Amino acid sequence: MMKLKKYIPYLLILPFISLMIFVYVGGLWQAVVQSLGYMPVFGMTDVSLRYYAQLLTNDRFLSSLSYTFYIAIVSSGLSVLFGVIVAFAIDKSKKGNKFSYSLYKLPIIIPHIVVAILVTQIFFQTGIISRIAFSLGFIDTAHDFPLLIYDRGGIGIMLTYLYKQIPFVTLTVFTVLKGLSSKYVQVAQNLGASPWFTARRVTLPLLSPAILSSFLITFAFAFGAFEIPFLLRSPARLTLPILAYFDYRSPVLADRPAAMAVTITISLISLSFIGIYMWLSKLLNKRGLQ
């Protein structure tokens, strides 16, 4: 009887887990099959890797791939940089209360679509900052304000990500920072180390697993996100999820396997970063940083 009770929690979540596995695995299998060109409903029964091979010579795909990497790497890198700085600032602060310490967590619960609307209202050429600049005489017309939304550089997209991701990185790093033993810092200070040297050579290495996981999580989200690039994209530049979406909705059935090939490519790249994270985690663990 005691052994049976041990398995009750797993039995309770079994229906949900089974449904999720069925939906995910079923959808993934369907995408893989269609990416190989097998769609018998439409008379396509030849299985091959030609759609993947075509991606390697497709300028449209390669442009979207580089643009997606650019958005993900820049937004994740800046999020980690500013998130770590804010975490250190909160840890060093001697003033404030629980409310002020919890205020930075507020953006995490705000949906991305709401943030996209806020960013548009603030940074668009007819937004709040543009109007203030016009009122102060810095610009003569709205067109004099730099294009930050729907721009080719993806600034509007990255601003939205930064608003959401910096608090996430701050929360992750600050939680670990609070749990670090102060004896390492005290030993370094007793040996005459400066605060900057202590932070760079003692604290940051101990925080490296949290920083690494934060970067990879934010990168994976930015790399595979659909709604923000779709809402704030430039008509001239498409991320990979948007490219797959447009190919999938194409009335030309021959574009459907190409869209699925792009989708599988996104999944493979994301899985590769998971593998990199696991490898780096083992490496850090061997060095005693985890």
Does some domain include residue 36?
A: yes
Does some domain include residue 72?
A: yes
Does some domain include residue 136?
A: no
Does some domain include residue 257?
A: yes
HSE (CB half, 13 Å, CA atoms) of 87?
28
Does some domain include residue 155?
A: no
Across 89-98, 109-118, 203-212, the highest mean pLDDT is recorded for: 109-118
Does some domain include residue 145?
A: no
Across 62-76, 239-253, 275-289, the highest mean pLDDT is recorded for: 62-76
Among candidate residues 218, 81, 66, 249, the one with its CA nearest the CA of residue 154:
66
pLDDT score recorded for residue 130: 92
The pLDDT tens digits of the residues spanning 211-224 come to 888 898 899 889 98
Considering the chain, what is the average pLDDT of its residues? 83
CA quadruple 254, 30, 61, 165: dihedral, nearest 10: 150
Three-state SS string over the chain comes to CHHHHHCHHHHHHHHHHHHHHHHHHHHHHHHHHHHCCCEHHHCECCCCCHHHHHHHCCHHHHHHHHHHHHHHHHHHHHHHHHHHHHHHHHHHCCCCCHHHHHHHHHHHHCCHHHHHHHHHHHHCCCCHHHHHHHHCCCCCCHHHCCCCCCCCCCHHHHHHHHHHHHHHHHHHHHHHHHHCCCHHHHHHHHCCCCHHHHHHHHHHHHHHHHHHHHHHHHHHHHHHCCHHHHHHCCCCCCCHHHHHHHHHCCCCCCHHHHHHHHHHHHHHHHHHHHHHHHHHHHHHHHCCCC
CATH number of the domain at 181, please: 1.10.3720.10
The pLDDT confidence band at residue 250, using thresholds 50, 70 and 90, is confident
Contact 127, 40 (CB under 8 A): no
Instruction: Quote the percentage of the chain above a pLDDT of 90.
Output: 28
Q: Is the pLDDT of residue 94 over 70?
A: no
Distance CA 22, CA 20 (A): 5
Q: What is the pTM of this model?
A: 0.83
Q: Is the pLDDT of residue 96 over 70?
A: no
Q: Which of 36-40, 104-108, 178-182, 212-216 has the lowest mean pLDDT?
A: 178-182
The pLDDT confidence band at residue 44, using thresholds 50, 70 and 90, is confident
Range of the domain at 221: 30-104+164-286
pLDDT score recorded for residue 251: 81
Looking at the structure of the chain, the number of domains it has is 1
The pLDDT tens digits of the residues spanning 131-168 come to 999 898 888 888 889 988 998 899 999 999 999 999 99
Does some domain include residue 20?
A: no
Q: Is the pLDDT of residue 24 over 90?
A: no
Does some domain include residue 194?
A: yes
